[in-house]
Every structure is written in C-alpha cells, then in structure tokens.
C-alpha cells in the first residue's frame, strides 16, 4: 500500500490561505490532491484504522445485526452491511472508517448549506467512504459509493481534527459529503471533544439513522442540515433505495431535542417537482416542526445515474419557494442559483433583507445578536460562537 504525507506546516499554510477569503477554492485532501513526496499527515490507500461499532447485537452462528440505521442489516461473519464500511469480524461488528477520512476540506459554512449558522465562517469538513443510500443523483458518488479500500484515507484521529479546526479558526466541524451515520463512532468522538473546546459540531445528513444512536449524538450536535429528498415513499425507494418515514422521524426528533435544523429539498425534474406534493411537504414542515425552520430548494444538475435529465428550471424553484411561503414557512431559499434573490434571508416581520448572499459570499448581515436590526424580531439560528 502506498503512503503519502503532507507536512503539518504546509497543510496549515494551505488552509490559512483559504481563510483569507472564503470564496477561494476550498482545501481538498482526497484522491490525488497533493504530491506524494510531502510528509507529515499519514495517509494510504485502503483501511487505516477500525473500531468496534457502538450499535449492533450478536445473533446465532456468529451473525450480527447492525442497529445503527433503519436497514438493520443482518451480517454474516466476514461480510459487510449495505454501507460497505461495517464488517462482521468473528461475531463482532467493526467500523472500517474510524479516523480514516478520504476528504478533508475547509468550506464556508454556507456550503453545507447552513444559512442560519455562524454566517461567513469556515467549517472544517470531513467525510469517509461509504453511504447507507444509493441516490441516483449523488454529487459525491465517487466516495459515497466506494469501499474504503479504494479511497486514499488519512490517519486523522478525533483529537487531531479538533486541533486542526482550532488552529485554522474554524468555528465548526462538519460531518458531510456522504451520510455521516456510516462513520458514526468517528463523528461522535469528534463532537464530544469539539463541544469541550467550544467548537460547534454540525452535520449534513440524509436523516436515515435509528432513534437510539440519534439520541446519543444529539447532546453534542449543534446543527443538522437534513436532506428531505422528496415527500413520497415511492420517490425514496426509486431514487435512494431508502424510505421516507425514518427521515421524518429523525427531523422531528432533532427539532424536539433543540438541535438547530435546516432542510434541503433537491428539486429534480419529473421526479419530485409536483407542486401538490411540494405543498404537502411544506404543510408537514409547518405543522410538525414550525414555520421558522429554514428550507432550501436546491437546483438539480445531471450527475451520476440521472445524466439524462435536464437541470431544474429556475422557474420551478421559484414556484416551489412561492408555494412554501404561501403555506406559511418564513425562511425559504433557492440554492445552486448564485445571485438569485432567493438566496437572501428576509425578516418575516418587516420584510427587509437581513443577510444578502451571492453564492457563498455574504454581502451584508443585519442580524444583530440573533435579532432583526430593523424591527427587533428574533431570528432562529446560531449567530455567535457556541460555548
């Protein structure tokens, strides 16, 4: 197995350049992103470290059942679950990706997307190989649908993740790009350490996680961006090989536990762009979560297994936003259309622009201590350092 290294000084210097302007290309450490002759950060193709899973139960004949996500895979000795990163070794279930990220970025927090969390700050972002969905429209399919033996993985234990986030003035650490549930133990240990250091732990998730692990993670999680990919079970089964109900349960649980929640709906032409269904989804959000949960309608571009479809028409996104506002949702955004007025945050009371955006740029921010600068209305979100 080949080994690649990057000096810590060079790594941090590269990160620092990205912090001078968050609009710069984010640092990317995956695949062949840097020369092999540099030394410092250990990495190699294949497995770097394993850890005993926190959520499984032994069965007969050395089989085990994973209890981490609603798939609850029954796994024979020597085999792996659906996500391809949890392996039964002699009747015990192990995570194969603990401390082994294949992607390390410093991103604007807006890229997650979080529009009500620490605007214009950098987020230390990590991902491993694997996923518990197979979304036909996945934009990160090269790592989400890959096994960890075939990705370049960094030896980056939780304490080092937190240290690097602090050294690079990142106010948050994001588990993202693939479904973080599949590297749960890694995310959990990072979140515990991050909270002690005053760094916000956030994740971008498909919401496909069982109640017990979610309850364990929630006290250490500051914010969750959940993909509500559609609002029918048929869509979920066809497009993700998952199901809708567990996702709705997760969203409600996070909200009840006081975790800041933002939702993303990728609008895909002919697949989930029926405005009647969009209206039903928005009505559910208002009734079950409240009208102040931020909702992002994001533009689809042809990727992975859906290259035959066109990009989402901007007018479709505008109709979806108008539908959500008509239902009574207060913070509704249009994503992946840089410069559109739907990127801005508006005060639902006085209607003035509170945060003006263009892509990941923050042009103006008039949220002062969590309130509208103009009329004083409280704006939900996390607006200062989390302690």
Q: Give Cβ neighbours of residue 348 (< 8 Å, ≥ 6 apart).
A: 292, 330, 331, 377
Q: Which domain holds residue 248?
A: 206-343
Does residue 132 register a pLDDT over 50? yes
Tell me, yes or no, whether 215 lies in a domain. yes
Co-location of 303 and 372 in the same domain: no
Tell me, yes or no, whether 91 lies in a domain. yes
pLDDT score of 3 = 37
Q: Is the pTM of this model over 0.85?
A: yes
Does residue 370 register a pLDDT over 80? yes
Co-location of 315 and 379 in the same domain: no
Which of 80, 95, 110 lies at the terminal end of a domain, its last residue?
A: 95
Question: Quick one: CA dihedral 143, 24, 161, 265, positive or negative?
Answer: negative
Does residue 244 register a pLDDT over 60? yes
Does residue 165 register a pLDDT over 60? yes
Over the stretch 270-309, which tens digit does the pLDDT of each residue have?
999 999 999 999 999 999 999 999 999 999 999 999 999 9
- b/e per residue 191-224 (b: at least 16 CB within 10 A): bebbbeeebbbbbbbbbbbbeebbeebbebbbbb
- The number of angstroms, rounded, from the C-alpha of 26 to the middle of its chain's C-alpha atoms is 16
Does residue 32 register a pLDDT over 90? no
Tell me, yes or no, whether 306 lies in a domain. yes
pLDDT score of 138 = 96
Res. 36 pLDDT band, cuts 50 70 90 = very low
DSSP string, 32-99: T-S-TT--SS-EEES----EE-SSEEE-GGG-EEE-SSTT--EE-TT-B-TTSSEEEETTEEEES-TT
pLDDT score of 216 = 97
Co-location of 293 and 324 in the same domain: yes
pLDDT score of 49 = 81
Over the stretch 187-228, which tens digit does the pLDDT of each residue have?
999 999 999 999 999 999 999 999 999 999 999 999 999 999
Co-location of 242 and 322 in the same domain: yes
pLDDT score of 47 = 77
Co-location of 294 and 310 in the same domain: yes
Query: What number is the average pLDDT over the span 346-374?
Result: 96
Residue with the bigger pLDDT between 350 and 24: it is 350
We report the CATH number of the domain holding residue 294 as 3.20.20.70
Res. 41 pLDDT band, cuts 50 70 90 = low
The span from the CA of 263 to the CA of 182, in Å, is 20
Res. 168 pLDDT band, cuts 50 70 90 = very high
Compute the mean pLDDT over every residue in the chain, rounded to the nearest whole number.
89
Tell me, yes or no, whether 176 lies in a domain. no
Co-location of 223 and 330 in the same domain: yes
Res. 384 pLDDT band, cuts 50 70 90 = confident
Tell me, yes or no, whether 162 lies in a domain. no
Query: What number is the average pLDDT over the span 219-243?
Result: 98
Query: What number is the average pLDDT over the span 125-145?
Result: 96
pLDDT score of 48 = 75
Provide Rg for the chain, Cα atoms.
Answer: 20
Number of structural domains (the chain) is 3
Q: Residue 144: in which H helix or E strand, if any?
A: helix 141-144
Res. 115 pLDDT band, cuts 50 70 90 = very high
The span from the CA of 41 to the CA of 167, in Å, is 15
Does residue 22 register a pLDDT over 60? no
Tell me, yes or no, whether 169 lies in a domain. no
At residue 298, what are phi and psi to the nearest 5 degrees?
Answer: -110, 145
pLDDT score of 256 = 97
Lowest mean pLDDT across 8-17, 88-97, 263-272, 273-282: 8-17
Co-location of 230 and 328 in the same domain: yes
∠ Cα 364 370 372 (to 5°):
60
Co-location of 359 and 315 in the same domain: no
Percentage of the chain exceeding pLDDT 90:
86
Does residue 11 register a pLDDT over 70? no
Co-location of 306 and 225 in the same domain: yes
């Amino acid at each position: 197995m080949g080994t690649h290294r990057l000096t810590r000084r060079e790594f941090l210097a590269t990160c620092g350049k990205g912090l001078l302007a968050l609009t710069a290309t984010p640092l990317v450490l995956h695949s062949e992103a840097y020369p092999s002759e540099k030394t410092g950060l250990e990495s190699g193709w294949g497995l770097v470290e394993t850890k005993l899973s926190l959520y499984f139960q032994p069965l007969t004949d050395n089989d085990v059942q994973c209890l981490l996500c609603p798939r609850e895979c029954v796994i024979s000795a020597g085999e792996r679950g659906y996500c391809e990163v949890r392996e039964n070794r002699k009747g015990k279930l192990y995570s194969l990706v603990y401390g082994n990220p294949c992607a390390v970025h410093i991103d604007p927090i807006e890229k997650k997307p979080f529009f009500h969390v620490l605007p214009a700050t950098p987020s230390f972002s990590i991902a491993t190989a694997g996923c518990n969905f197979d979304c036909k429209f996945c934009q990160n399919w090269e790592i989400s649908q890959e096994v960890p033996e075939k990705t370049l993985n960094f030896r980056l234990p939780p304490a080092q993740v937190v240290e690097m986030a602090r050294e690079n003035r990142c106010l948050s650490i994001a588990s993202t790009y693939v479904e973080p549930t599949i590297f749960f133990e890694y995310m959990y240990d990072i979140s515990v350490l991050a909270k002690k250091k005053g760094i916000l732990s956030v994740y971008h998730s498909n919401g496909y996680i069982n109640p017990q692990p979610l309850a364990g993670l929630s006290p250490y999680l500051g914010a969750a961006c959940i993909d509500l990919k559609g609002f029918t079970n048929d869509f979920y089964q066809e497009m993700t090989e998952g199901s809708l109900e567990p996702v709705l349960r997760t969203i409600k649980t996070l909200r009840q536990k006081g975790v800041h929640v933002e939702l993303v709906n990728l609008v895909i032409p002919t697949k989930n762009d029926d405005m009647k269904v969009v209206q039903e989804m928005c009505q559910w959000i208002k009734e079950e979560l409240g009208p102040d949960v931020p909702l992002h309608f994001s533009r689809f571009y042809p990727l992975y297994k859906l290259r035959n479809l066109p990009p989402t028409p901007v007018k479709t996104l505008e109709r979806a936003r108008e539908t959500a506002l008509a239902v009574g949702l207060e913070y509704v955004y249009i994503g992946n259309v840089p410069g559109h007025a739907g990127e801005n945050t508006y005060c639902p009371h006085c209607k003035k622009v509170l945060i003006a955006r263009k892509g990941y740029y923050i042009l103006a921010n008039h949220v002062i201590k969590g309130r509208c600068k103009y009329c004083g209305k409280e704006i939900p979100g996390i607006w200062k350092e989390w302690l």
